[in-house]
A and B are shown apart, each in its own frame.
Chain A
């Protein structure tokens, strides 16, 4: 999928991605010549199709987590299916604000360990000392974490 600014005859560049939370995905592309920005909006089924392929529009700056698609998409997984305790990052790195901890606790156990690790990696990667709900929101959009 590419976007062309027909007026300038230039390929538009990915600018940012947003996940409003209603199943749609918004991606903005900017023309490097005239600066015009267009938005790509997918409906929930299109968003699901992209997610089903295990790819992210706009790319990603973090390596994929093991079984990222399965853990992010299976709705009937066991709470204790994965023991994430031995994985790196547990108990070290950025701290979690109380609000962020509460929000993380609401994530189903099947996927919680992976979500926690993604936010930790995101924060470490950017030198963020404390993970707050605002940091989680930004990471979710930047990384394309639909449903996390």
Chain B
């Protein structure tokens, strides 16, 4: 005779753990922190080595020069480069009123990055059981992204650029954490290999109801050849927002700022 055991949902008494409530509170904290951000832009490619971080930093600096309040959330926890690319001051992160102040570049770009927290030359490593680390590592990185969104005093921003690592996983985590899907800026180099990787990432972003702003082709005029940006633009019906030369001057970024302002 089997025991008569009720289901989880039939047990309705107050639960002191309130795990669901704790998760809901985490999400609410993210939404509250981003309430002053006009637009969150995820910079993605789905591929490493195309210069996402370089484009993110160049765009953020140009936005700041144009008088727009801009921020960079460096979501590449294992290869953070935003502090160097933005020439951030080397200083400790300060706390006040339960939040952490982002560091601010000389041009006014607010930034937070794992690069500000890690010992020089050391990889990101988490405490925990050493065996089967893959089981919990992704969860911890998602929690890190959540805290970078929720616990940094981003303040009022026109654009918060999220510099994503290669692949689509961090983008999916970002989408799950945010109250609404972010806008997306796709970065590619001219090659067909890059085009194919970016196509997958863009398709994944669209599947998550993200708003694509356009395509940026990086490293144009260098050793790479192809028509990746034009191909992607035609396939997805998007504008090519910029073709960044291998050695760009400020003009390339200012043109991108101008076109980004006109995009959706």
CB within 8 Å of A: which of B64-106? Answer: 91-100
Q: CA–CA, A2 to B136, complex, Å? A: 22
Closest chain A CB from B35 CB (angstroms)? 17
Question: For the complex, would chain A's binding face be called helix, strand, loop or mixed by DSSP majority?
Answer: loop
Ordered by A's residue number, 18 sampled pairs between the chains whose C-beta atoms are within 8 Å are A4-B6, A6-B4, A11-B11, A11-B12, A13-B16, A14-B16, A48-B136, A53-B23, A53-B139, A54-B146, A57-B19, A63-B98, A65-B98, A66-B98, A66-B147, A74-B124, A78-B119, A81-B93
B118 touches A76 (CB 8 A): yes
Q: CA–CA, A9 to B140, complex, Å? A: 37
A35 at the A/B interface (Cβ < 8 Å)?
A: no
Q: CA–CA, A54 to B11, complex, Å? A: 24
B16 touches A58 (CB 8 A): yes
A70 at the A/B interface (Cβ < 8 Å)?
A: yes
When distances are taken between beta carbons in the complex, the residues of chain B under 8 Å from A57 are 17, 19
Interface-centre pick from A1, A59, A66, A83 (highest chain B CB count, 10 A): A66
B128 touches A83 (CB 8 A): no
CB within 8 Å of B: which of A59-90? Answer: 59, 63, 65-70, 72-84, 86-88
A52 at the A/B interface (Cβ < 8 Å)?
A: yes
**CB contact under 8 A between A52 and B143, given known A11-B11, A66-B95, A74-B125:** yes
Pick from B12, B22, B116: contact of A55, CB under 8 Å = B22
Closest chain A CB from B123 CB (angstroms)? 7
A87 touches B136 (CB 8 A): no
B127 touches A73 (CB 8 A): yes
Pick from B12, B17, B97, B144: contact of A69, CB under 8 Å = B144
B11 touches A44 (CB 8 A): no
A1 touches B100 (CB 8 A): no
When distances are taken between beta carbons in the complex, the residues of chain A under 8 Å from B94 are 82-83, 86
Closest to B129 in A: A44
Interface string of B107-143 (1 = CB under 8 A from A): 0000000001111101111111101100110011001
B5 at the A/B interface (Cβ < 8 Å)?
A: yes
Question: For the complex, would chain B's binding face be called helix, strand, loop or mixed by DSSP majority?
Answer: loop
Closest chain A CB from B32 CB (angstroms)? 13
Given A49-B135, A72-B127, A77-B117, 18 other A-B residues pairs in contact with their CB atoms under 8 A: A2-B11, A2-B15, A11-B13, A54-B146, A55-B23, A56-B17, A56-B22, A58-B17, A63-B98, A70-B143, A70-B144, A75-B127, A76-B118, A76-B125, A77-B118, A79-B119, A82-B94, A83-B93
Give chain A's interface residues, CB within 8 Å of chain B.
1-2, 4, 6, 9, 11, 13-14, 23, 44-45, 48-49, 51-59, 63, 65-70, 72-84, 86-88, 110, 113, 147
Pick from B15, B99, B116, B147: contact of A81, CB under 8 Å = B116
When distances are taken between beta carbons in the complex, the residues of chain A under 8 Å from B122 are 76
Closest chain B CB from A120 CB (angstroms)? 14
Q: CA–CA, A73 to B3, complex, Å? A: 41
Closest to B139 in A: A52
Q: CA–CA, A9 to B117, complex, Å? A: 50
Pick from A59, A66, A68, A74: contact of B126, CB under 8 Å = A74
Closest to B99 in A: A66
A66 touches B136 (CB 8 A): no
Closest to B93 in A: A82
When distances are taken between beta carbons in the complex, the residues of chain B under 8 Å from A23 are 129
B128 touches A76 (CB 8 A): no
A6 touches B117 (CB 8 A): no
**CB contact under 8 A between A1 and B19, given known A69-B140, A75-B125:** yes
**CB contact under 8 A between A67 and B128, given known A76-B119, A83-B92:** no
